[in-house]
Chain A
Amino acid sequence: MFSAGLEQYLILSAVLFCIGLLGVLTQRNLVKVIMCLEIMLNAVNITLIAFSQYVTPVMLTGQIFAIFVMVVAAAEVSVGIAIIFSVYRNRESVDIENFDILKW
């Protein structure tokens, strides 16, 4: 029951995903929001690799998906931090309450 199998890994990644979701919804510093997004992406990667290990152990499909998730995460972080810098230059703040430029 308590030996580490597929379900334990899935529960672990669900816990990490929900912690990341909580951070994205509650944090007010934009850099911290991006950090919590990274937690969520890592949780998804754990899920993919656990399925790859236990369901398709020879084809490695989940590991290939995890590689592409990492590529997308790197691109997302670079563009997101560029956007934070650019808004910080105009507003002198990284508080998410001040990021209302796109609101009508």
Chain B
Amino acid sequence: MTITLDRRKFLQRIYQVVLAAGAAPLLSFDELLAAEANPAGVGWSRPNLVWLQGAGCSGCSTSFLNVEQITILDFLTYFSRVLYHPNLSSATGEQVPQILNKLTASNKPYILVMEGAIPVAMPHACMMADRPISDWVNVLAAKASACIAVGTCAASGGVSKMAGTLTGAASLDDFLKQRGIKTPLVNLPACPMHPEHLVYTLLHFIKSKGLPELDDARRPRQFFTHSVHERCPRYPAFQARDFAQRIGEEGCLLELGCQGPVTYNDCVAIGYCGNTNNCVRAGHPCIGCAGELFPRPLLYHTHDDPKAKTGLVLKRS
């Protein structure tokens, strides 16, 4: 099969996503062309994706739509086959459980993308097609080739598990352990998830049939090795012990509640919305949205807030 000029242009656009996701070492443009010309020859196959939403806000789905350079649709039709997505699928009502049941009965391989936490103590707090979402996750995760927990709610509970909630929300990792499900899992925390992280993880799966190298919290090392603080543009101010006393000043934001030193993510490097901006560049302390303890009960505060001295701790269920 030869590649037409239009097709080549199309692939060039596709490749912009690979570049934006930092996945160029995984996949060169020549390899992409070769895969296009002869999909079987290089073992190229588009993974089937099933996207479920538990106790969350759809923010990671909307964040995913911000993938730079091409329409998300090119990506969805080219690099994967999205069998079900709650916000994109035409399928409505009983067509949805039909798809999911047919898929699990078919033994076809697929990846489960989980957005949101899973309310375990109150299964009825999240229902879909007359069944608790925990039932759906149980069935779909057990048969999946891999699970990807997108966003902090799915990765560590996040806002759905904040101190004071009653639903016993579990991260996907905790849920799989509770149910004894051994499917490989990747966590992509951040509130919302960085779309580039998901693109990279999927590309890795397509290329190597496996998951990227993970740390102890099952996060790709590629993105989560450095703290926000280490790469912060205000790090020189920190070294000079120049601390901002109020918003708008140039110094390090630590005394205004910045969570950068305890938050591991690459937002400072890749930013949000195609690297348009990130929280620290916007003059706001990091709120630690990719951290396992997000949300803490005190985020941004004034430098002389007495609560900042004693700390404010609330117990999570």
Does B bind A?
A: no
Give chain A's interface residues, CB within 8 Å of chain B: none
- The chain B residues found within 8 Å of chain A, CB to CB, are none
